[in-house]
Amino acid sequence: MCGRYTILHSQDAVAERFGVSPIPGLSTPRYNVAPSQGVPIIIEDQGARQQVLAHWGLVPFWARDPEIGNKLINARVETLTEKPSFKYAFARRRCLIPADGFYEWQRKPSGTQPFYIRRRDQDLFAMAGLWETWEAPDGSPLISCTIITVAPNELIAPLHDRMPAMLLPEDEEAWLAKT
């Protein structure tokens, strides 16, 4: 599970790395990005990348209540095509979630120990995500997202049984293009 992450780079650095415009007024650094907060995501709309602000916790377009998003902060890659909450977004609405680190908690008999995981070069990376637009009863749109998780690699396995799906830069375009 990925329940907290960081964006320490400036909005200008995020915009340059992902080829998008910065989100005006979005403050950085963010040392403890948490579910239900507004997070920057990168989407592709009519062939062009855009950076938008999304609520972290996916609210499917068909949901009656946005509170469902509190339970949908992560989506297991193994069930994306099966779960009603994710299959439509997986087919049509994929996103990149910029980050430069994330936290995983190792469970021990004495409690939990947080670990901060980042690239050696401390650069930005993209987590694979899904996004949706939900329409509130008053007609206002809510853009929301979820982080896709995978089985851990050998570095993360001693800490946790899941980790965010981290995309290589050369795989980002294919992910957004749904191929």
CATH of the domain at 105: 3.90.1680.10
Q: What is the mean pLDDT of the chain?
A: 95
Mode of pairing for the β-strands spanning 111-117 and 101-108? antiparallel
Q: How many CB atoms lie within 10 A of CB 118?
A: 15
Give the pLDDT of residue 48: 92
Region 36-43 average pLDDT = 98
pTM: 0.96
Residues acting as catalytic residues = 2, 104
Q: Per the structure block, which two tokens stand in for 21?
A: 């415009």
Domain count for the chain, please give it. 1
User: What end-to-end distance do the CA atoms of the chain give, in Å?
Assistant: 25
Q: Per the structure block, which two tokens stand in for 136?
A: 């509130």
Looking up tokens 């609520």 gives 55
Region 63-78 average pLDDT = 96
- Residue-wise pLDDT for 118-158, tens only, equals 999 999 999 999 999 999 999 999 999 999 999 999 999 99
C-alpha distance from residue 58 to each of 43, 115, 121, 144, 164 (Å):
15, 25, 31, 5, 15
- Decide: 165 and 77 in contact? Cβ < 8 Å: yes
167 pLDDT band, cuts 50/70/90, is very high
| % of the chain residues with pLDDT over 90 | 91
Is 70 exceeded by the pLDDT of residue 1?
Answer: no
Helix, strand or coil for residue 92?
helix
DSSP 23-68: -TT----EEEE-TTSEEEEEEEETTEEEEEEEEES---TT-S-GGG
Q: Per the structure block, which two tokens stand in for 73?
A: 């902060």
E-only strand ranges, 120-161 = 125-135, 141-150
Q: Which domain holds residue 99?
A: 4-176
Region 97-113 average pLDDT = 93
